[in-house]
Amino acid sequence: MNTSRSRGRTWRSAALAVLLTVGALTAASPDAQGENARTEAPVTATSSVAGVAESVVRVKVPMPASLGARPAACDWLSYLRYRALDGPETSADADRILVAQPGILEGAGAFDSVARNTVARAAEQGRHIEFWALDRRSNCLEDRTGIASGDQHTAVDYYHRGKQVEGRTFAGFVGNDRLGWMAKLGIEQTVRDQYDLLAAELPDQQVRKRKVLCGGHSLGGVITGYFATADFDGNRATTADAGHNQCAGYFALDTTVSTSLADLSGSIPDDTNLPDVGLGYGVVQAGLDSGVLPRSLSAPVLLNPETMTLLAIAGLGAVRDPGGEADLPRYLPLNTNIEVTNRFLFSEDTATFLTGSPAVKDFRLTNEAVLGALMDDHSVPLAFLQSSVGFFDGGPIADKNFPVANGSDQQPELFGSDYKAIPDRPGGPLYTWRNYDRVGDPDDPGYRSADGTPFTDAGKEVTDIQELARSLAEQPLDFTEQYFPTKLVTDLQLATSPQVKRLVMHPDGLTANPTLTVLAGDGLLAGRIPADLDPVVADGYQHLDVLTAAPAQNNGRPEPVSTSLAQFARAPE
């Protein structure tokens, strides 16, 4: 994420069922614990990774009354718990517990593949570890009812046409006027939430210090840095509560464990609604408190609650009928948000974007191909949303030269470096999707750009599109994040202000424990990998691939992210 370069200018920031309902806006109860203060429910999954049990855990930890009225669901902290089926049922008895903070615009569901792969890899080595994928409080606002129906048309009708599912009617996406409590949902509350959750789930601090590994993906690495340097009783002299004493080590997934955003550049478009931090902490906070500034991060194209929901809906189609011809582009309602998003993602050039013809609905695509067009690194022009899931197949392919031309020397970091491709025959053949492990097979057409450059090869494809679809559509906690707290980013951008600087009470906490850094070879730090961190580099991986990569890789080698995490989780002899 880039720092602000001038006043009056927005900056680029770093990328991006049990909880089904949006609660009524009521003040929270002041008691933190009590009867029915914890729930845990098993999650039924269709993953190909065997031997891993998943559950969704909710722990009641009300926020301070000073944050104001909020949905009752937002006084609970939630996470996805992964453990070995033949391992201990009690977390404190596990060999190690990896606790992961999500990145920007990211929910707990995004960790599904890496969590399963890591737990399974450790089990193969005779160790029983757990992986906890944390969800931010603001995800309590998401209504998963339509997605949980398991049917695309039902989901579209629920979110867009007012039709009921299981007796519920969608209350609409939440506007800024109902997000007053999020005005104070910044880095201080975020790290406090992690501490309170760990203390509730693992009351013995010595267990936490011996067994918990703290980390995250993307922005989650910076959150982990603040957690490591925090002091949770406000007394620097008493260190049992210090953040670094809740962890035995740290891990960073395509990020660094730090209190700086300098390593995370090229992640969010300039047209997001981030306020100008050149105004100063007090002015920004007053703007958030009053509602003059947006309390939730969004952008006109793709990055807003409505379009984030569409990713999960596309995942539903790919799971239920992967090779069937998709009707989603035609079934969606016509509104400006969806229309502009579709044009941005599926326009071959500027003229197509401006005229809207041909549109995505003019092409014949399978459900998998629709999802690939939305998430693949050779299609979607937003680097922090890209994964390497294969390539289009079934018909002629053209260069996608919008929003930037392939091969451009001036291509912004935001769009990534890979050439983009798009189907070339509207109304023509049924375009299918060639999964990651079929790229380079004898029947692969080997599509090339107009300048002769191959669009992809087997070494650059690492994620199974079916596993990605399942993570988007089947998880009770979202893969994406509809309501990301603006204050969390403005706090980190204003790290030198006294109000944020005071939170770093133990700066040596960053180096108090061993750290594993795993970086995507084609991710956010590509070309500027900090050698002093001695990182593991996953060749060919994009920013999301460190979370979504398949356990079986095309090069025949063990998947490097989960293998490294499992090795790091080995308790010292």
Q: pLDDT (tens digit, 9 = 90+) per residue, 321-373?
A: 999 999 999 999 989 999 999 999 999 999 999 999 999 999 999 999 999 99
Cα(227)–Cα(333) distance, rounded to whole angstroms?
A: 43
CB atoms inside a 10 Å sphere around CB 558: 16
Q: What is the pLDDT of residue 269?
A: 52
Element (H, E) at 315: helix 305-320
Strands (E), 247-288: 249-253
**pLDDT tens digits, 469-489:** 999 999 999 999 999 999 999
**Least confidently predicted of 194-198, 260-264, 417-421:** 260-264
Q: What is the pLDDT of residue 572?
A: 66
State the pLDDT confidence band at 24, using cuts at 50, 70 and 90.
very low
Cα(517)–Cα(314) distance, rounded to whole angstroms?
A: 32
Cα(117)–Cα(290) distance, rounded to whole angstroms?
A: 45
Is a pLDDT exceeding 70 seen at residue 27? no
CATH of 25-297+484-568, one of 2.30.110, 3.40.50, 3.30.310, 1.10.10: 3.40.50
Cα(349)–Cα(522) distance, rounded to whole angstroms?
A: 25
Strands (E), 36-165: 38-42, 52-60, 70-71, 76-84, 96-101, 129-134
**pLDDT tens digits, 131-190:** 999 999 999 999 999 999 999 999 999 999 999 999 999 999 999 999 999 999 999 999
Strands (E), 479-528: 484-485, 515-520
Q: What is the pLDDT of residue 14?
A: 29
- Amino acid in the structure at residue 333: P
- Alpha helix (H) ranges present in 130-218? 145-148, 152-160, 187-201, 205-211
Q: What is the pLDDT of residue 265?
A: 61
Is a pLDDT exceeding 90 seen at residue 116? yes
What 8-state DSSP symbol labels residue 548? Answer: H
| Largest interatomic CA distance in the chain | 71
- Amino acid in the structure at residue 16: L
**Least confidently predicted of 2-11, 300-309, 384-393, 530-539:** 2-11
Q: What is the pLDDT of residue 413?
A: 63
- Taking alpha carbons only, the member of 261, 262, 257 closest to residue 512 is 257
CB distance 217 to 100 below 8 Å: yes
State the pLDDT confidence band at 109, using cuts at 50, 70 and 90.
very high
Is a pLDDT exceeding 60 seen at residue 8? no
What 8-state DSSP symbol labels residue 419? Answer: P
Q: What is the pLDDT of residue 353?
A: 95
Crossing angle for the helix pair 486-493 and 187-201, nearest 10 degrees?
110
Q: What is the pLDDT of residue 532?
A: 84
Cα(182)–Cα(132) distance, rounded to whole angstroms?
A: 24
Give me the residue label for tokens 């039924």: 44
Burial of 440 (0-12, 13-18, 19+ CB in 10 A): middle
Is the peptide bond between 535 and the residue preceding it cis, with omega within 30 degrees of 0?
Answer: no
Cα(438)–Cα(40) distance, rounded to whole angstroms?
A: 38
CB distance 52 to 86 below 8 Å: no
State the pLDDT confidence band at 273, using cuts at 50, 70 and 90.
low
Cα(376)–Cα(463) distance, rounded to whole angstroms?
A: 10
Cα(568)–Cα(96) distance, rounded to whole angstroms?
A: 10
Cα(482)–Cα(149) distance, rounded to whole angstroms?
A: 19
State the pLDDT confidence band at 267, using cuts at 50, 70 and 90.
low
- Taking alpha carbons only, the member of 366, 367, 364, 344 closest to residue 354 is 344
Q: What is the pLDDT of residue 136?
A: 97
Mean pLDDT across the stretch 2-17?
Answer: 31
Burial of 506 (0-12, 13-18, 19+ CB in 10 A): middle
CB distance 302 to 44 below 8 Å: no
Average pLDDT, the chain: 90
Q: What is the pLDDT of residue 263?
A: 72
Burial of 86 (0-12, 13-18, 19+ CB in 10 A): exposed
Q: What is the pLDDT of residue 271?
A: 55
What are 455's two structure tokens?
């669009």
**Least confidently predicted of 105-119, 160-174, 523-537, 557-571:** 523-537
Is a pLDDT exceeding 80 seen at residue 381? yes
Cα(260)–Cα(386) distance, rounded to whole angstroms?
A: 24
Tell me the C-alpha to C-alpha distance, in Å, between residue 469 and each of 115, 125, 284, 322, 466. Answer: 16, 29, 38, 9, 5
Give me the residue label for tokens 């326009």: 347
CA atoms within 13 A on the CB side of 265: 12
Q: What is the pLDDT of residue 529?
A: 72
253 Cβ contact list (under 8 Å, min separation 6):
100, 114, 215, 216, 217, 218, 220, 221, 518, 546, 547, 561
State the pLDDT confidence band at 58, using cuts at 50, 70 and 90.
very high
Is a pLDDT exceeding 50 seen at residue 29? no
Q: What is the pLDDT of residue 185?
A: 96
CB distance 462 to 522 below 8 Å: no
**pLDDT tens digits, 241-259:** 999 999 999 999 999 999 9
Calculate what percentage of the chain has a pLDDT beyond 90: 82
**Least confidently predicted of 158-167, 192-201, 265-274:** 265-274
Mean pLDDT across the stretch 26-38?
Answer: 50
Domain limits of the chain?
A: 25-297+484-568, 305-472
287 φ, ψ (degrees, to nearest 5): -65, -40
**pLDDT tens digits, 382-405:** 877 899 999 999 999 999 999 989
Q: What is the pLDDT of residue 179?
A: 96
